[in-house]
Structure 1
C-alpha cells in the first residue's frame, strides 16, 4: 500500500517540491496551506491548516485519517523567516516566529502521534536549518527557533523508540525559494546604530537565497530518508561550505569561529 504523507506548508517552496516528488513516486500526499483555495491546480491535495491554530491542525489530521485510515509520514515543513537586530525586533514578532517554527511543529506532532502509536509505525521529519546550528548575526531569532527544534527532536527520538515511531531533522542551507519574500524584516531605521551592518547583511542574505540550491535536492533527500530502515537523527542538505561550517564550529575555538562568521558577513 502507498504511504500516506502530510506536509505542512506544502503549497510553495521546499514543501511543494517535496510533495510533487513524492507524488511522482506514488505516495499519497497531503499538503497544507492557510489558504488552500489559492492552490486548486496543485498536483496533490492541499488542506487548510495554520500551525498557530490547534483546531485547524486537528481537523486536517482527522480528515486524512478518516479518508486513508492511516498516516505514515509527517513532514514539519511550515516555517517563517525573520531578520533584524535582536534589540530592535518587537517581542510580538519574536513570539510569532517561535509560534510558527517551534510551537507549531510540536502541536502537529502531538496531533499525529496517537495514530502513529496505534499503527505502531510512523516517521516524523522536522525541517530545521543549518542556521539552527549557530547564532547568525541579524538572524538570531531564526537561528534560535530552528536550533530549539533540533534539540527537541533529539529528546523526542528517545521518547518514541518504544512505539516504533522515528523522528529526524533535515537541516537545509540556502535554497532558491520564496522564503525571503515571506520573512519578517525588522525595518531599517535611519538613526539606528545597526543601519549599515544590518542593511548590508540583509542584501547578502537575499543574494544567498536567490542563488541557492534547487529544492529538488531536498525532495530527493527526504525520499531516501523515508525509505531508510533506520533514519539518523540529523541530516544536512546544501552546499559543501554550508555543511562544513557545522564541522568547523565543533573543532574551532569560539573566538576564531566567531571571527570567521563576522568576516563572512563583513562585520
Structure 2
C-alpha cells in the first residue's frame, strides 16, 4: 500500500526537497503552505495550513481525511528563525517563535495521533536543529524553542510506542535555505549595548546559512530515517564540526564550552 506523508512547511527548502524525493520514491506526499494558491508547478500537492492556528490545523486534517483514509508519516518541518539579544527581543516575538517552532508541531502531533492509532502504525519526524542542543548567543530563543521540541519528542516517543508509532527528532545544522531572509531580526540599534557583538554574530550566522548543506542532502537523511528498520530517537545531520559540538558539550566543563562558543562567534 502506498504510504501517505504530510510535510508541514512543504513549499520550499527542506520541506520541498524532502517531498520531491519521497514522491519520486513512491510515497503519496501532501505538503502544507500558508498560501498554496500562490505557488504553481509544485512537485506535490499543497494543503493550506498555519501551524499557529488551531482552526487551520483542524481544517487541514479534515481536508487530508477527505483525500485519503490514512496517514503514515508526519514530518513537522515548518519553523521560523529569530535572532537578537534576549534583552531587546520583544516578548510578543518570543511567543510568536514558540508558537511556530514548538506549540505548532505539538498541535500537529496531537491532531494526527488518532489517525495513526487507528492504523496501528505511524512515524512522526520533528525537524529541530543542532542549535537546539545548546544556547547560542543571539539565537537563544531559537535554541530554546527547538530544544523544547527535542525534549517533548522524547516523552511522546515513550507514550505512543505501544500503538506502533515511532516519534523521532531530526536535527540539521546549517542548511542553504532562505530562513535567514524570513526570520525575525531584532534591529541592530546604534544605541544598543550589544551593537558590536550582535553585529558580528549576525554576519557570521548569515555566512553559515549561505554555505550550509543543500536541502536535498537533508532530504536524503530524512528518507533514510523513514526507510530504516530500527529507528533511534535522535538524528543529526550537518558539518562534522557542528555535530561534534554536541559531543563536546557533554565532555567539557560548562565554562570551557562557553568559552569555545564565544571564541567561535568572536565575542
With the length of structure 2 as denominator, give the TM-score of the two structures: 0.99
Equivalent residue for 2:242?
A: 242
Equivalent residue for 1:76?
A: 76
Equivalent residue for 2:230?
A: 230
Equivalent residue for 1:143?
A: 143
Q: Give the C-alpha shift of residue 58 in structure 1.
A: 1.4
Equivalent residue for 1:173?
A: 173
Equivalent residue for 1:11?
A: 11
Equivalent residue for 1:95?
A: 95
Equivalent residue for 1:62?
A: 62
Matched ranges for 1:116-131 at <5 A: 116-131=116-131
Q: Give the C-alpha shift of residue 230 in structure 1.
A: 2.7
Equivalent residue for 2:158?
A: 158
Distance 1:234 1:65 in 2: 29
Moved over 6 A (4+): none
Distance 1:197 1:16 in 2: 35
Q: Which runs of 5+ in 1 are unaligned?
A: none
Cα offsets for 1:107-155 (capped at 9, x unmatched): 1101100000111000000000000000000000000000000000000
Output the aligned Cα RMSD: 0.7
- 1:202 to 2:202 alignment: yes
Distance 1:42 1:54 in 2: 26
- 1:112 to 2:112 alignment: yes
Distance 1:2 1:55 in 2: 29
Distance 2:57 2:94 in 1: 22
Distance 1:197 1:183 in 2: 19
- 1:256 to 2:256 alignment: yes
Distance 1:96 1:2 in 2: 36
3-state DSSP of counterpart to 2:191: coil
Distance 1:62 1:29 in 2: 16
Equivalent residue for 1:51?
A: 51
Cα offsets for 1:8-52 (capped at 9, x unmatched): 000011111101111111110000000001212101000100001
Distance 2:247 2:80 in 1: 26
Distance 1:30 1:52 in 2: 19
Equivalent residue for 1:214?
A: 214
Q: Which runs of 5+ in 2 are unaligned?
A: none
Distance 2:66 2:227 in 1: 25
Q: Give the C-alpha shift of residue 222 in structure 1.
A: 0.9
Q: Give the C-alpha shift of residue 64 in structure 1.
A: 1.6
